[in-house]
Amino acid sequence: MQFLDSFKPELTISSPGRINFIGEHTDYNMGYVLPTAIGNKITFKLAKNGSLNKCNVYSIGLAGFSFDLNAIAISDTEWHNYILGVVNEISKLTSKVGGFDCIIESDLPLGSGLSSSAAMECGMAFGLNELFDLRLSKITLVALSQRAEHSYVGTQCGIMDQFASVMSKKGNVILLDCQSLEYQYIPIDIRPYKIIMLNTKVSHNLASSEYNTRKQECEEGVSIMKRRNPKLNSLRDVTEEMLEASKDEMSQTVYNRCSFVIDENKRVLKMVQAFKQHNLESVGNLLYDAHQGISQLYEVSCPESDFLVDFTKTNPSILGARQTGGGFGGCTLNIVHENAVKEFITKASKAYFEKFNIQLEAFEVEPSGGTSVQ
Ligand code: GLA
């Protein structure tokens, strides 16, 4: 692209991926989540180009594209829609955005359940906010990034990923109530253990797959239970008793989905207590329980993730493991004793390769800060 030859960035933005300790598929059910940003990130270098409407975006590794601010439309290339969706949402709020050039670089593995999509959306939103001095609040940037994902990408996602990408604080996880958007930072100290991510390298496109179906199944459950509980609006307010009372009126699948969400919300609150009490054994057990639900009740796991979680169960140096993120692959999160990390990665990689003929990718992450100007 022509602009690359003479590009001088005015601004560099760092936009991180995230892990979620626990609370999967609870965000769009107005429940609790416990995510944090990680060190892996997408970097945006930005500059105004003096034009009124012409925008050029180049991503190292993915090539580039140009668009006109007056003619923004959904693209056939998926990653363009993260950018276009955000610009479209910002344009609804302000007319202060003008032409800009942007170079994007990422060390966040794409489609690995670490929310590269939210990092892309939030980095773009944060960058334009700074570059054009839009003065939009962080929570506005979070919400418009989520709307961009709904309207331009087509995934009816909850708010967790965008919230974690923007709002995270180093050394903490965020306990977020997705109903009220109230949040608390929970400091975590898991020494002498480490958070080790294993990337299955299996990924599924959530937009065209089961994600939206799960959301609909939860909504179906709510509408059935609403017959007996007219004030009910989301699974957040459903108790086990309410679910049991309506069990005969719903399919086993819908029952299982609702049952998982009720349990998962409880697990989030238990995990917070476990972190506060430094009860790492309980942290690990909750991870295993959550994975069981993800796999058996919510059915968003896959043979590769199940294999890796099972693989850890006989290793006394590992406290717990589960698949993190939207599902159907991506990464498993493992709590591993620092002295056992190397051997665990070697053995897991060997076993995984023998079983699936896929080279595992393993890396350590730490709770990190949210989107920022570098
Ligand atoms: C994806 C979505 C999130 C959340 C998770 C599952 O990452 O973007 O909103 O629903 O899946 O917890």
Of 76, 44, 75, the closest CA to residue 57 belongs to: 44
Per-domain boundaries in the chain: 2-187, 193-365
The per-residue pLDDT for 210 is: 87
Q: Rounded to whole angstroms, how far apart are CA atoms 231 and 132?
A: 44
CB–CB of 317/339 below 8 Å? yes
Instruction: Calculate the CA dihedral of residues 157, 196, 301, 237 and round it to 10 degrees.
Output: -50
Class of the CATH-defined domain 193-365: alpha beta
Supply the residue whose CA is at minimum distance from atom 5 of ligand 1: 326
- Listed in order, strand segments (DSSP E) in the chain are 11-20, 32-33, 35-48, 54-59, 63-68, 100-106, 172-177, 183-187, 193-199, 318-324, 331-337, 361-365, 372-373
Chain centroid offset of residue 24 CA: 9
Closest ligand 1 atom, residue 113 Cα: 7
Protein residue closest via CA to atom 10 of ligand 1: 25
Which CATH code fits 2-187? 3.30.230.10
Residue 263: name the closest of 59, 32, 53, 5 by CA. 32
Q: Kindly give the residue spans of alpha helices, DSSP state H, lying in 176-228.
A: 211-226
**258 Cα–ligand 1 center, Å:** 16
Going from the Cα of 250 to the center of ligand 1, the distance in angstroms, rounded, reads 25
Question: How many angstroms does the Cα of residue 28 sit away from the middle of ligand 1?
Answer: 8
Closest residue by CA, ligand 1 atom 7: 326
- The protein residue whose alpha carbon is closest to atom 1 in ligand 1 is 326
Closest atom, ligand 1, to C-alpha of 28: 10
- Those residues with Cβ within 8 angstroms of residue 84's Cβ, 6 or more apart along the chain or in another chain: 67, 72, 73, 74, 75, 152
Domains 2-187 and 193-365 in one fold: no
Question: With contact defined as beta carbons under 8 Å apart, do 105 and 43 qualify?
Answer: yes
Output the ligand 1 site: residues, CB below 6 A. 20, 24-25, 27-28, 115, 157-158, 160-161, 325-326
The catalytic residue among 5, 76, 101, 161 is 161
> Which atom of ligand 1 lies closest to the CA of 115?
7
pTM: 0.96
The Å distance, Cα 158 to ligand 1 centre, comes to 6
Length of the chain: 374
Which residues of the chain are under the pLDDT cut of 70? 204-208
Rounded to whole angstroms, the Cα distance separating 170 from 37 reads 8
Residue 334 is encoded by which pair of tokens? 């493992």
Protein residue whose Cα sits closest to atom 2 of ligand 1? 157
Q: Is 76 a catalytic residue?
A: no
Which of 32, 108, 157 gets mutated to test ligand 1 (max ligand atoms within 8 A of its CB)?
Answer: 157
Nearest to 321 by CA among 342, 364, 292: 292
